Every structure is written in C-alpha cells, then in structure tokens.
Amino acid sequence: MNIMVFDVPAEYGGAYSILKDFYDEVKTHRDEKINWIFVLSKPEFQETENIKILRFPWIKKSWGHRLFFDNFIAPSLISKYNINKVFSLQNLTIPRADIEQTIYIHQPLPFIEHKFTFSENKLFWMYQNLIGHKIFNSIKKANKVIVQTKWLKKACIEKVGVDGRKINIVSPEIRLDVKGSFSPNNKAFSTFFYPASALQYKNHRVIIEACKNLKQNDIKDYKVIFTVKGDENKHIETLYNEVKSASLPIEFIGSISREKVFSYYTQSVLIFPSYIETFGLPMLEAKLHGGIVLASDSPFSHEILDDYKNAYFFESFDSTRLAELMFNTMSGKINYIEIGELKDLNIYKKNSLLDHIIN
C-alpha cells in the first residue's frame, strides 16, 4: 500500500512539531507492506527503505505558487506514485483525487466566534472567510477527519454539519518533566506570567488594560512578565510603547528556554488571555505545576481546566474582570488550594495517529 502524506505549509512551530512527531512514528513502525511518501516544502527528513521524501521549497515563494501546487502538482503526484491513501496534515483534501483521504484539522480560525475584519488583520480574515470555506468543504469530502480536542470536534460538527462518527480525536502528546511545584507565597501571588508569541490573538492587550485599571486604583506591588521583546511586529511595538509611557510594571523579557518557563510556573500566576487556540499548552503546564491560572473563558480553556480547582476565567476582552482577578490573587482573596501529588493530575497521552491512517 502506498500512502502519501501532504504537509507543505509546515516549516516551524506547532505545525512542524506535529509533522515531525508523525514522521517519527512512521519511521519506527516499519511495516514493509506500506510505502510512505512525504510531500513537504523546506523540512529535510531522512529517507528510509519505505519512506520517500519529496521537497518543494518553491511553494513558499507566494500564495500563487501554493495554489498552483495544490491544484495541479499535488493531484499529479498521487497519480504518478500510484497512491492508495492520502493523509493531509494541512487542513485540506487534495482535489481531483478519487481515493481515501484523511485530513488533520489544526487551524482554529474558521471555527471561533471572534471575527476579524479585513482592515484589522488581512491574513486572519482570509483564513476565516476564504480558506475557511475550503476547510469546511474538505471536512465534508474527507473519509476521516482528525482533530486534537473535543471542542474542535464539536465545532466541526456544528459548522459543517457532518456526521461526528467520522471525526476522531487524537490529543497531542504532552512530554513534561515536572520537577517542581507552585510555591504559594506573597511573591508568587503578585507575579503574573504570560508565555506567548507576538501574534495579535494572543491578546497581550487585555493584560495591559488590566494593569492600567490597577494603576488607576493605586495598586502597584506586583509585576507582569511577557516572553516577547517588544519589537516583534507593529502590534507589539505599540503595546510596548504604551507600557513604557504609562510606567506599568510589565517586563518584556523575550523568548526563554523551556526550563525557564517551567521555573516561572513554580513562582508566578499564569495569565492566559488568548482567544484563539487549538490546544492551550501553557494552561496544562501551569496546571501540572499546581499554579493558579487566570484564563480566557473559551472552549479550549475549559477543556483543560474545568476539573482544576485553581483556575479562574474571564471574558477574553474584559480587562476589568482580569484586573479584579489579579487583585484578588495578590491580596489573598483567592484561596489557593493545595493539589496534592502531581501524579494524580490528568496528563494528556497521545493516541496513535498512525493507527487512524493505516486502519
């Protein structure tokens, strides 16, 4: 059997991690009856006796190159290599391919309630209004659909109207070496940590507005830590300048190691205001370290935190409520609950993605 895996968008970040994990799973499977052909853009993976790598780095030149590849090159590759099954890790089925196709949906933008305007963010608008329709059509056409979370499965069913039986949940594998736990002291209760990239929907803005609210009420003895430098893009630059102009107690420390992130979980309160996530990993990490989590009132947050007693929620854009939660945390009005042994917490374990493809 010949199986072709498509993932030309993946180059770095979470999408690359998903691709690399699946490649590693295939590499160790070693079923001589299956030949695998990975169709990629820039990533360089090792070929084996039953794994062939096809690279098309020119796809990254423009959207036009990508459209040409999707509509003409991809279908021709299926024919050329006599493919029996397709696994698409890029949210979309391959057009004009009359064979079994499984798609992996990990793009949440078309499924969220918040709608971006074209002037607000052109790329996000395009994902919601143009690419989103293609994703919906692909879900209808695919033989199988794989998602990471319950909330995304529910959203697929509601948005597309497909039979939920063809949608399988394969949670991401969480590899955590938890060596410490949250220290419930005054310093930790007055230190707030947000490990996030500079993307607009990570919603640093609501934390800044909450800090302005606290300043108006003469509340000063606390600090907030962002893992951005302040010069990543125009959006972050604007926020950085606002923080400095208002003399808010927010530090822009830039990217830090995973070990340092874990250290912060033991000595600070996690704020997670992002309103677009497939799987909000920092919330799970903070939970496993036993810390307090202040999170956006979103489906992905509730999926991770609803069974956790030290989690508190606020509407994603409600800076007044966030400021209230921050004050309650640092003033002791929020009662911290000891969680006991970390091993008793639910740790996500990945189901076999490979099994869903070959069976």
Mean pLDDT of 198-225: 94
Residue position matching structure tokens 């202040």: 294
Q: Where are the domains of the chain?
A: 2-173+350-358, 186-344
Please name every residue paired with 252 in a beta bridge, in sequence order, or none if there are none: 226
pLDDT tens string 32-76: 889 999 999 999 999 998 999 999 999 999 989 999 999 999 999
Secondary structure letter of residue 204 according to DSSP: H
What whole-number distance in Å separates Cα of residue 8 and Cα of residue 192? 38
CATH code given to domain 2-173+350-358 = 3.40.50.2000
Tokens of 164: 């939920």
What whole-number distance in Å separates Cα of residue 293 and Cα of residue 279? 15
What whole-number distance in Å separates Cα of residue 283 and Cα of residue 294? 9
Is 186-344 in the same CATH topology as 2-173+350-358?
Answer: yes
What whole-number distance in Å separates Cα of residue 344 and Cα of residue 317? 33
Sheet strands (E) in 195-259: 223-226, 250-252
- The pLDDT-based confidence of 199 (bands split at 50, 70, 90) is confident
Task: Let me know if 116 is exposed, middle or buried by CB neighbors in 10 A (0-12, 13-18, 19+).
Answer: buried
pLDDT tens string 131-169: 999 999 999 999 999 998 899 999 999 999 999 999 999
What pLDDT is attached to residue 70? 93
| Homologous superfamily in CATH for domain 186-344 | Glycogen Phosphorylase B; (3.40.50.2000)
pLDDT tens string 230-258: 998 999 999 999 999 999 999 999 988 88
Q: From 131, 3, 4, 12, select the one nearest 67 (Cα to Cα).
A: 131
What pLDDT is attached to residue 343? 46
Mean pLDDT of 282-287: 91
What whole-number distance in Å separates Cα of residue 40 and Cα of residue 50? 16
